[in-house]
Structure 1
Amino acid sequence: MVPLQTLSASAGAVPVLCDVNRARAAAALLGADEGNNIGLVPAGIDLTREAVVHELALLYDLMAVLRAECPWDRAQTQASIVRYTLEETYELVDAVNQYQEAEGGSESTADTDVMGELGDLLFQVYFLAVVAQEEQRYDLGEVAAGIRDKLVRRHPHVFADIDAPTADDVRRNWDQIKRHTEGREGIFHEVPEALSSPLLAQKLQSRAAEVGFDWPDARGPLLKVDEELQELRLELEQSPESPAPGMGDERVAAELGDLLFAVVNVARKLKVDPELALRTASKKFRVRVEVAAELAEAEGHVWSSLDLNRQEEYYQRAKADLASCGETKRI
């Protein structure tokens, strides 16, 4: 007799990560027995997997309906959609960061936000793949097969006899595979120009480090920051105070770019993500200014009418108030 498992969440049942109703739907597709209102399926069947496959198929079908019936969806191309893909990616990053900062367990609102943003990004992947399928270039199945093959190829320590006991060993193996097996030549092979500027700088610096062009620790990049800051100061002293509208001094811009590049390098050596660090600092500044304006308004002042010294006083008060109550709760 084939062993059976129940869809019940009672003690002793096989765990079902999806909710029971979705698991029942998946089990019904498998022809499970629904006697006594408790579906029974062979014990070898992964109910969560079947439910996931079922939901993904429904999303695929929905995408086809939207492309056929919705004028806006039908008008989109990969080029027009990809900007939304980038936007959804950043929204997912924000949601994950908020979840990490949130107090509470997996049932928190922050966790629900992460799930929602994952769905938005998943829809973007489906959308881009369906457009390609309509143009007879490739389909979502080929996309999945391609990444699956790549992951198997890049994990010989899992699927073959390569030894890689540490994460650093794995990274070195990946680089060798990309260079030799996949034929990616050059130090900066396939670094996307479309990356955000901090991420592009970090990626280029990491690639240079892989071939030995790097400081041993963060002290080198920190000295470089001091050097670039001094060069920027010297350039500012020699530049006109009021350049033509819309035309910043190119030499100043170049020196400022060098300074930013050096700061990103410091972040890389300290294992800090410069993109996330800057986003956190930006959000912190926004909250502090908002609170400072609220404090000024509570005392009968209009924030925009205050001089800089008074604004700074309120800003420092806002910093102190936020620090006393836990600033991250407002970010």
Structure 2
Amino acid sequence: MGLADALLDLQDLTRRLRRECPWDREQTAQTIVPHTVEEAYEVADAALAVDDDKLVDELGDLLFQVYFLALLLEERDAGDLETVSRRVHAKLVRRHPHVFGDAEARTAERVRHRWEAIKTEQEGRQGIFHDVPGSLPALLHARKVQRRAAAVGYDWPDLDGPLAKIDEELAELRWSLARSGRPAPETEPDAAVVAEVGDLLFTVVNLARFVNVDPELALRATSRRFVRRVELAEALAADAGEAWTELSLEYKERWYEQAKGDLADGGDAVPRG
């Protein structure tokens, strides 16, 4: 069975599920989209884990989401899967004149600059921060905003800029914390501290963008490493007859460092921006 047959079979399956499955019949774009976002993150996890079999599986789940949402468009006479496919095909051809036309772009950076120019000049997008979805996770939203600013030349000339800015923002946060102190648990934080933490996070995202690291994926990878290390530290302590919850912070840290060494998880893929 070829690619065309496989894609048509999936389309037929999507239509049948929409007709015959009680759950699928009830769905709308609003109820499906959270699943779409979830599937996209699962694709990212599989890719970062370099798990090809899982990536094949998760890409299938995400592809089904595309088919289902396109079917909902068709039901509203607002488009269909063919419309979706032809529109993205035309868009990609239009945005790659260095491939399909006479334009030249010999570097990835030049391609990105031309991409932004085409969006403005040919697609009628207005303003520096056009089409930045408010629904993006905060780290990705910050990176996209920064990319938009960089596209019009508002960016650091070199790595020294964002590194120095991190030092500056961290100093301002320390000053605000010195004035307000640490708040009691479950109480509202000082407004100045909130602002300074936001500034520091925004600047760290800018540094990540500068070194081609995707901040969202990098933070998720770090969270996964932390979970693995703490779970192993707890297991190591238990094997030694010690209850993790009863250990002092000093002894927890010792087990954590041993777990960190045992895992030696430097093999994680580097999330790129």
Fold similarity call, TM over 0.5: yes
Residues 246, 131 of structure 1: alpha-carbon distance in 2 compared, 3 angstrom cutoff:
farther
Contact 1:243 1:249 in 2 (8 A): no
Residue 179 of structure 1 aligns with which residue?
120
| Aligned-partner Cα distance in 1 for 2:202–2:22 | 44
| Aligned-partner Cα distance in 2 for 1:264–1:163 | 31
| Aligned-partner Cα distance in 1 for 2:100–2:87 | 16
Specify which of 3, 16, 31 is matched with residue 80 of structure 1. 31
| Aligned-partner Cα distance in 2 for 1:148–1:225 | 41
Give the Å deviation of 1:226.
Answer: 1.0
Of structures 1 and 2, the one with the larger relative CO (CA 8 A, separation 6+) is 2
Specify which of 35, 60, 71 is matched with residue 11 of structure 2. 60
| Aligned-partner Cα distance in 1 for 2:162–2:105 | 30
| Aligned-partner Cα distance in 2 for 1:244–1:290 | 25
Give the Å deviation of 1:228.
Answer: 1.0
Residue 217 of structure 1 aligns with which residue?
158
Residue 127 of structure 1 aligns with which residue?
68
Q: Tell me the alpha carbon deviations over residues 75-122 of structure 1, each in whole angstroms, 9 at most, x when there is no partner.
A: 1110111011111011000101111xxxxxxxxxx2111100100000
| Aligned-partner Cα distance in 1 for 2:56–2:95 | 28
Residue 256 of structure 2 aligns with which residue?
315
Residue 167 of structure 2 aligns with which residue?
226
Residue 46 of structure 1 aligns with which residue?
none
**TM-score, length-normalised on structure 2?**
0.93
Residues 168, 237 of structure 1: alpha-carbon distance in 2 compared, 3 angstrom cutoff:
closer
Structure 1, 72-81 or 172-181: larger mean CA deviation: 172-181
Specify which of 186, 194, 199 is matched with residue 258 of structure 1. 199
Matches for 1:295-314 after TM superposition, within 5 Å = 295-314=236-255
- Which structure is larger by alpha-carbon Rg, 1 or 2? 1
Aligned length: 268
Residue 92 of structure 1 aligns with which residue?
43
**TM-score, length-normalised on structure 1?**
0.77
Query: What amino acid maps onto 1:83 in structure 2?
Result: P
Specify which of 88, 93, 98 is matched with residue 147 of structure 1. 88
The sequence identity of aligned pairs, in percent, is 51
SS of corresponding position for 2:49: helix
Query: What amino acid maps onto 2:48 in structure 1?
Result: N
| Aligned-partner Cα distance in 2 for 1:247–1:55 | 55
Give the Å deviation of 1:171.
Answer: 2.1
Q: Tell me the alpha carbon deviations over residues 220-275 of structure 1, each in whole angstroms, 9 at most, x when there is no partner.
A: 11111111111111111222533573523332111101100011111111122212
| Aligned-partner Cα distance in 2 for 1:328–1:193 | 33
Query: What amino acid maps onto 2:75 in structure 1?
Result: E
Give the Å deviation of 1:300.
Answer: 0.8
Q: Tell me the alpha carbon deviations over residues 169-226 of structure 1, each in whole angstroms, 9 at most, x when there is no partner.
A: 3222222211111111211111111111111111111111122211111211111111
Residue 245 of structure 1 aligns with which residue?
186
Give the superposed CA RMSD.
1.6
Structure 1, 120-129 or 172-181: larger mean CA deviation: 172-181
Residue 271 of structure 2 aligns with which residue?
none
| Aligned-partner Cα distance in 2 for 1:250–1:159 | 52
Query: What amino acid maps onto 1:136 in structure 2?
Result: D
Q: Tell me the alpha carbon deviations over residues 101-144 of structure 1, each in whole angstroms, 9 at most, x when there is no partner.
A: xxxxxxxxx21111001000000111111111112211111111
| Aligned-partner Cα distance in 2 for 1:167–1:244 | 47
Please list every run of 5 or more consecutive structure 1 residues that lacks an aligned counterpart in the other structure. Answer: 1-21, 23-50, 100-109
Matches for 1:161-200 after TM superposition, within 5 Å = 161-200=102-141
| Aligned-partner Cα distance in 1 for 2:208–2:266 | 23
Query: What amino acid maps onto 1:98 in structure 2?
Result: A
Structure 1, 154-163 or 241-250: larger mean CA deviation: 241-250
Please list every run of 5 or more consecutive structure 2 residues that lacks an aligned counterpart in the other structure. Answer: 269-273
